[in-house]
Structure 1
Amino acid sequence: MPARRPPSDRQPDLLGDAAPPAVHRLFLALMPDAAVRERLARLARALRERHPALRARWVDPARYHATVYFLGDHAGLRADVVAAAQAAMATLRVAPFAWTLDYAASFRGRLPPCVLRGSATPAPLQQLREELRRTLAASLRGVPVERGFTPHVTLAYSRGGLLENTPVEPVDWRVDELALVHSVAGEPHYRVLARRRLGTEE
């Protein structure tokens, strides 16, 4: 999803230039553990070797995640959005579940993402997404309430060519944690602001 630049209150300097405002992005995501992350990295390397014509920028394995709910781009780290997201996480009643990622594909768009998906979406993942959507729609104003949901892990961004639906060696992921993640556009690392273990009482 391309960054939507928030309005800036910065003033130009004496030369007439103004530094672009930082774009703060918040999202709720499934974060793989170290073992799953390594399997995803091996799979990405195999795809890179098998598809040399796919000119792409490959994602650092430390950034692998599956976004469940995008909370918008902002001019700063908004305390109200963080609080609403943490409150929504606390209401979840979804138990840990298994998710199998078994094929790679490309989405359309500028710098099309090359992603890893599952042939089937687990019912608990759909339930988790729907619970968050309902809670956040009731508590937040001016933040996207997204209805479409295509669960995936982004492996690369293509600079030429698309990856057709390609079966891969399945990666079995036991999903047991949801994270609230903060990133700043252009910076290499994410910051996890909160975690929620699935199947526990908060």
Structure 2
Amino acid sequence: MTLGNEQLSLDFNEPPAPPSSRRRNSGPDLGKSNLYFAVLPQLETANIAAHLADQLRREHRLSGHPRPARLLHISVYGLGRFDTVPDDIVHAAMESAVAVQMAPFELALDSVLSFRQEVRPLVLRGAKGREEIRSLRAELRRGLRGVGLEGEAKRQFEPHMTLLYDRKAISETSLEKPIAWTVREFVLVHSLIGQSKHDYLGRWSLHLQ
């Protein structure tokens, strides 16, 4: 196979309030807002991935709709689902993000497959950049713990980009041309569940002092 916002206004001069002790929604559809750190593909790369999703949908006669290019991302660390955007947790997450020290890295997604879930995500994944994504996740987790947040850390974490959801599974297939880019930043995403809308609450460049 050949391939090729809105911003929350926050006062950063004030120290963050202690993280909220409110309970997060645990059900899959209960929350209205989802907060997580992610890395985003460049626009051209996202368009290539979206085109691939449409191609796979037709080739395999899938019924799921491909995600728009503007929503494609690789999740790094989840903060949870909430009824409303919790400003205190956003402040604390931003404080931890500023402390991340990590150089930009190359990432390449070179295979496509369906994960084994009831409604199976069709995803892209690859080995190049996988350990760097995990390192970024570990950096964020350390920073979040330092400001009193745990988030939704899981024992097993497989970096991937979700293209669509479908009940039909596709076996892992290598791509002739990987979907690749240089990861130079990460973002804090506020996802409005069920509305196909992402707001980016902050962006942080990867760098070493």
TM-score band (shorter)? Answer: 0.7 to 0.9
The correspondence for 2:173, drawn from 161, 166, 174, is 166
Larger-gyration structure (1/2) = 1
* Aligned CA distance change for structure 1 residues 30 and 141 (closer, same or farther; 3 Å): closer
Q: Secondary structure at the match of 1:48?
A: helix
Q: Which moved more, 1:127-136 or 1:190-199?
A: 127-136
Deviation at 1:166, TM superposition (A): 1.1
Deviation at 1:156, TM superposition (A): 0.4
The TM-score with structure 1 as length reference comes to 0.82
The correspondence for 2:86, drawn from 78, 86, 107, is 78
Deviation at 1:125, TM superposition (A): 2.0
Q: Deviating runs (4+, > 4 A) in structure 1?
A: none
The letter for the 2-side match of 1:58 is: P
Deviation at 1:30, TM superposition (A): 0.4
| 2:33 counterpart of 1:24 | yes
Aligned Cα RMSD in Å? 2.2
Which whole-Å CA distance do the structure 2 matches of 1:172 and 1:30 have between them?
A: 13
The letter for the 1-side match of 2:190 is: H
Equivalent residue pairs, number:
184
* Aligned CA distance change for structure 1 residues 62 and 193 (closer, same or farther; 3 Å): same
Deviation at 1:200, TM superposition (A): 6.3
Task: Indicate the percent of aligned positions where both proteins have the same amino acid.
Answer: 33
Aligned to 1:44: 53
The correspondence for 1:183, drawn from 191, 195, 204, is 191
Which whole-Å CA distance do the structure 2 matches of 1:164 and 1:50 have between them?
A: 13
Which whole-Å CA distance do the structure 2 matches of 1:195 and 1:142 have between them?
A: 20
Which residues of structure 2 form unaligned runs of 5+?
1-24
Which whole-Å CA distance do the structure 1 matches of 2:131 and 2:150 have between them?
A: 29
The TM-score with structure 2 as length reference comes to 0.80
Deviation at 1:23, TM superposition (A): 1.6
| Cα deviations by residue, 1:29-82 (Å, 9 ceiling, x for unpaired) | 001111111111222122123212x33232111110100001100121111211
* Aligned CA distance change for structure 1 residues 39 and 125 (closer, same or farther; 3 Å): same
Which residues of structure 1 form unaligned runs of 5+?
7-19
| 8 Å contact kept, 1:115–1:156 | yes
Deviation at 1:21, TM superposition (A): 7.0
Aligned to 1:61: 69
| 8 Å contact kept, 1:26–1:72 | yes
Deviation at 1:141, TM superposition (A): 4.4
Q: Secondary structure at the match of 1:58?
A: coil
The correspondence for 2:99, drawn from 91, 100, 104, is 91
Aligned to 1:107: 115
| 8 Å contact kept, 1:104–1:115 | yes
Which whole-Å CA distance do the structure 1 matches of 2:171 and 2:30 have between them?
A: 37
Which whole-Å CA distance do the structure 1 matches of 2:146 and 2:127 have between them?
A: 32
Which whole-Å CA distance do the structure 2 matches of 1:111 and 1:133 have between them?
A: 28
The correspondence for 1:4, drawn from 26, 43, 47, is 26
